[in-house]
Amino acid sequence: MEHAPTWVFLFSVLLIFPGVNSESDRVRRSLVEFMGKLSPDDALRDDSWGWNLTSDPCAWRGIACNPGSPVIRKIVLDGLGLSGIFDPEFLCSARSLVVLSLSGNNLGGGIPREISNCKHLTHLYLSNNRFSGEIPVSMLKISSLRRINISNNNFTGKLPDLGENPDLLSFLAQNNHFIGSLPETDYARYEEFNVSNNNLSGQIPDLKGRLGVDSFLPNPGLCGKPLPNSCPPPLPSRKKSKEWSTDRFLIYLGYAFLGLLVVLFIGLKVVCLRKRRNRVVDDEKNIIGEESTTTSKSRVTRPPSVEFKNGDKSEYSMTSMEGGPSTLVVLNDRAVKDLNFDDLLRAPAELLGRGKHGTLYKVMIDGLADLAVKRIKEWGVSSEDFQWRMKRIDQVKHPNVLAPLAFYCSRQEKLVVYEFQPNGSLFKLLHGSSNEQTFDWGTRLNTAVSIAGALAFMHGKLREDGIAHGGLKSTNILFDRNVDPCISEYGLMMVENTQDYSSSFISQTETDSFGADTYAFGVILLELLTGKTVENSGVDLARWVHSVVREEWTSEVFDRALISEGASEERMVNLLQIALKCVSPSPSERPSLRDVATMVNALKEDDERSMVSELSSTFLASKESGNQQTA
C-alpha cells in the first residue's frame, strides 16, 4: 500500500498529458515518411543514420535539437546524394523547424505549396539540385522566412513576388531559367541578392545603390543601372487618360476648333491650287496640243519611284509609301547609324535569290560593310505590328542569331537590313558542288548545338510575344566571318506560314509557330545526317527517313562522307533519334527547343569525352610501343 501514491501519481500524469507521446510518435512517423520519399542511398544507412521509428530523432543524421530538449530546430542534409521528391507535407509536422538545408543533392520535381505549413522556417537552402517548375506563391508567405537559396536548379516561370515577405534578407536564385521582369520590392534591405544567369528582361528597378552588376549579369534582356546598357525609351502609351475636368475639356475643345480652322484653310488652298493647275493645263492644251497635255498630266500624277541599281540594269524597283516620307528605321548599331533610305536605293545591288515570301539582295555602299536586304511580300502584317515586331526582336541578342540592323515599312513595302555574311549557307555547304570546305561529323554536331541553343534562347525570350522564327530552313542558316553558324531572318514569317511543312505527314491546321520551328530544326538535323537535298520544304526527306528506319535499315540514311571518315554510328543514331522526335507528325509529341538543345548538347559532351578517351588510349599505346622499341 505504500507504493500506491506513486502509482496514482503516474497514472494521473498520463491522464492529464495523453498527447505527449502520441505527438512525438506522430512527428517521428512523418519524418520517416519524408525521408522515405527522398530515396537515400543504402550506403548512407550506417549506425549513425537513424531515421526510423525506434530511435530518438535528435540522434538522427542531419537533425539538430534544442540542447536538453526533444524540440527539432534544424534539418541539414547537404551533399548526401539524395534523390526522389521533396515533400514538405510530412516535414512540416515538426512545427519547431527553423532551418532546412537540402543543398548539393539530386532532388527533382517542384516545390509543393505545402511548404507554407512550415510556419516558423527562417532559412531555406535548396541550391544545386534538379528542382524545376515555378516557385509557389505560398513560400513567400512564410512570414518568418529570412534567407532563401534556390540557385543552380531548373526553375522556370516568373520570379516570386518578393514583396510578399518584406523582412526577407537574402534571396539567391542565380543559374535558373526564370523569365519576365524583376519584382517590385525594397532592394535596399537585402544583404544578399543574386538573379544572374537567367532569362529576365526589362528595366531594373531602383536599387538605391545597394547591389552591383554581379547580381544581374548575365541576363541579356535586362537594362538600366547598374548595368552598362541603358533601356530604350518607352513606346508612347495608347491608353487614354480617364481623368477629365471642365478646364481640360474646354482646352481640348479650343484645340479642336483651332484644328478645324486650319483644316478649312488648307482645304481652301488645295481647291484654289487645283483650279489654278487645271487652268494651266487647259492653256497648255490650247497652245501645244493634246500630246503635250498628256505628258504634263503624267508628270503631275505619277507617284515617285525608286530603284536598286546594278550597273545600268535595274534589279529591283518599288513605289514609295503614299502619304508620307520613305523612312529607314536604324536600330541600335553604330556601324550603320548614318545609313538612310536613299543610300540603299542608290547603291548597286546584286540579286541573291527569290523565294515564296520575298527577295534577297546584296547591297554595296561605300564606307560600310556589305549589307543584305530582305524584301518581304505577301505578309498580312500591319505596319504598326511590323515595327513593334522588329524592335522587340532587336531587344533580344544572341551571338548565333543574325540581328537586324535597320528596317523600312510602308503600306506597300517591308524591308529588313542585315550585315551580309560572306561564307554562304548551310544548304550550300551540304548540297553545293564545291567540296573545298571540310564538313565532318564534329563540325556538323557543333552546328546543331549552336543552332539549337540559339533557337531555345529566342523561344524563351519571345514566347510570350508569340514571335518564333516561322520559316527556318538550311538556306537561312548562314556562316559568319569566323565560320560560326547564325540564324538569319528570325521572326519574318507568321504562324499561317507553318503550312510550308504541311502534307499528309504533318497537319495543315497546325497553328503553333514554335512547334513548327521544332519540326524545321528536325529537318535540318536530317540534312546534317543524310547530306540529302530537302524538297517540298522537308516533307519528302522526313518521310523517307521514317520509311528507312521502319524497315530497319537505319545505317542507310547516313551521309557516306560521315561513314567514310569513321564517325561513330552510335552517336549518329542518337542524333537521328532526336531528329525523329522533332519531326513527329503530332505537334504535341514534339519536344520544346529547350529540351532539344539539352539533348543535343549532352550528345556533344559525350562525343568530346569519347574523343578525349580515344586520344588518351592512343597516346598510352604509342608510349608503350616506344618503350618496347627502346628496350
Q: Distance (Å, rounded) from C-alpha 408 to C-alpha 416?
A: 7
Q: What element of type H or E holds 180?
A: strand 179-180
> Cβ(146)–Cβ(170) under 8 Å?
yes
Which residue ranges are tagged as binding site? 374
Q: List, as residue ranges, the binding site for ATP.
A: 374
Alpha-helical runs (H) found in 39-98: 88-91
Residues 6+ apart with CB under 8 A from 227: 204, 213, 216, 217
Amino acid at 415: L
Residues forming beta bridges with residue 20, ordered by sequence position: none
For the chain, what's the residue count?
Answer: 631
Three-state SS for 199? Answer: strand
Task: Provide DSSP, 438-461.
Answer: ---HHHHHHHHHHHHHHHHHHHHH
- Residue 591, all three cell numbers: 519536344
Q: How far apart are CA 182 and CA 224, in angstroms?
A: 12
DSSP designation for 208: T
Residue 576, SS3 per DSSP: helix
**Parallel, antiparallel, or unpaired for β 406-409 and 414-419?**
antiparallel
CB 39 within 8 A of CB 48: no
Burial of 261 (C-beta count, 10 Å sphere; 0-12/13-18/19+): exposed
Phi and psi torsions of 194, nearest 5°: -155, 120
Report the distance separating Cα 155 and Cα 136, nearest Å: 11
472 HSE (CA, 13 A, CB side)? 28
DSSP-based three-state secondary structure for 100: strand
The 3 state secondary structure assigned to 457-478 is HHHHHHCCCCCCCCCCCHHHEE
Number of H helices and E strands in the chain, helices first, is 13, 23
User: What is the 8-class DSSP label of residue 197?
Assistant: S
Distance of CA 329 to the CA centre of its chain: 25
Phi, psi of 130 (to 5 degrees): -120, 30
Using alpha carbons only, give the angle 415, 418, 423 rounded to the nearest 5 degrees: 130
Cα–Cα dist 89/484, whole Å = 50
Helix/strand/coil for 407: strand
What is the Cα–Cα distance from 90 to 57, expressed in whole angstroms? Answer: 14
Give me 160's grid cell. 516570386
Cβ neighbour number for residue 252 with a 10 Å cutoff:
11
* Rounded Cα distance, 326 and 342, in Å: 8
Using CB atoms within 10 A of its CB, is residue 453 exposed (0-12), middle (13-18) or buried (19+)?
buried
Q: Please identify which residue in the block is written with the cell numbers 530497319.
A: 552
* Whether the Cβ atoms of residue 387 and residue 400 lie closer than 8 Å to each other: no
- Pick the closest to residue 379 from 408, 413, 328 (CA basis): 413
